[in-house]
Structure 1
Amino acid sequence: MEIRPTDTPSRELLLLADESEDSIADYLPRSRCYAAFVNGQIVGQYLLLHTRPFTAEVVNIAVTPACQRRGIATALLQHAVRIAREAGFRILEIGTGDSGTGQIALYERCGFVRCGLDVDYFRKHYPTPIFENGTECRHMVRLRMELIEK
C-alpha cells in the first residue's frame, strides 16, 4: 500500500464519510487529500484542513467497505499525524458522530483524546437525520492530539 497526495479524491469515499454534499463542497476546496492505493486503486483517503493557527483537522476519512478492518484507516491516521507534524502543526483534530462507536474507538487507539461535544451538530447542519448502528447520529464528538513532543 502506498499513501500519497491526490488531486482527484474518490467521490464515493467522500460520501461514505460525510453524507452532506454541502458540507463536502465547503471543506473540499480548502483541504489536501491523501489517498491509500493498492495496485493503482484508491482503497482509502483522508482530507487534511488547516483550521486555526497551528491546528489541522482530518475532516473526512474513509476506507472502501471491501478493504475495511485491514489497518488502512490506522495507516491513514498515522500518515496524517506525520504530515501535520512535518507541516509544523501543534494540534491535530478529528470529529465524528456520536453513534460512530467504531470510529471513536479507532481514533482513541491512534492517540486522539476526546475534547468536546458539538451538541445537535447533525440535526442543525444536515438536511435529514442520519442513522448509524440503529441510532440517530445527533452530536459530533470532537477529539484531538497534541503533536509537540514533550
Structure 2
Amino acid sequence: MLADFEIKQITNHKDYPYDLLLLADETVAAIHKYVFESMVFVVQEKQLPIAVFCLYPIDTDTLEIKNIAVAASHQNRGLGSKILQYIQETYCTQYPNLIVGTADCGFDQIRFYERNGFVQYGVRTNFFIENYEQPIYENGQLLKDMVLLKYQSQQP
C-alpha cells in the first residue's frame, strides 16, 4: 500500500512540517488548536517529507482526521487515498468511527472522502466564520460551514 514510503509519528513539536500542515489548514494558529493533542505523522519518500496527517481521538470509538495534506509535487497520484486506507486499516479496529470535516464548498475534498468510503452526516454551521480571524475563500466562495463525513469500519 505505502511500500515505497515511510510513515513516522512525530513526537517532538519542533519537528512538525508546518509547510505541509498549512496546505490543509489556513493558519498556524488554527493548527495549534489541535496539533499538540493529536497523533502527528509524516509520510516520507527517500527521507523527504511528502505528506502529513493528524489524528485526534474524540472518544473510545471515534478518531478524527484533523489534517491530511500531500505536497503539491505528489498530488493526484493516489497518495491521499493510500494514506486514508492506511489509517482505516491501522486504526479502525480500535476506533470503528473515523470522521473528518471540510469546507462545504471544498467540492474536490468532499468527493475525495466519498470515493474513499466516507459519507456525509452533518454540518458545523458557521465553523469557518467563528474559528478564523480572517475570511477564507475557496473556489471563489467564502468558507462558512464545515461538512462532516464519517467512515464506519465494517469490523465485527
What TM-score bracket applies, with the shorter chain setting the length? over 0.9
2:22 to 1, 15, 18: 15
Matches within 5 A, 1:1-150: 1-7=5-11, 8-86=15-93, 88-149=94-155
User: 2:89 corresponds to which letter in structure 1?
Assistant: R
Q: Between the two proteins, what is the percent identity of the paired residues?
A: 32
RMSD across aligned C-alpha pairs, in angstroms? 1.4
Unaligned ranges ≥5, structure 2: none
User: 1:53 corresponds to which letter in structure 2?
Assistant: T
Deviation, 1:66, is: 1.7
Deviating 4+ runs (over 3 angstroms): none
Query: Could you state the TM-score of these two structures normalised by the residue count of structure 2?
Result: 0.89
Indicate conservation of the 8 Å contact 2:7/2:41, yes or no: yes
Could you report, residue by residue, the CA deviation over 1:69-119 in whole angstroms, capped at 9, with x for unpaired residues? Answer: 011111111111122224x11200011111211111110011010000111
Indicate conservation of the 8 Å contact 1:14/1:61, yes or no: yes
Query: Could you state the TM-score of these two structures normalised by the residue count of structure 1?
Result: 0.92
More strand by share: 1
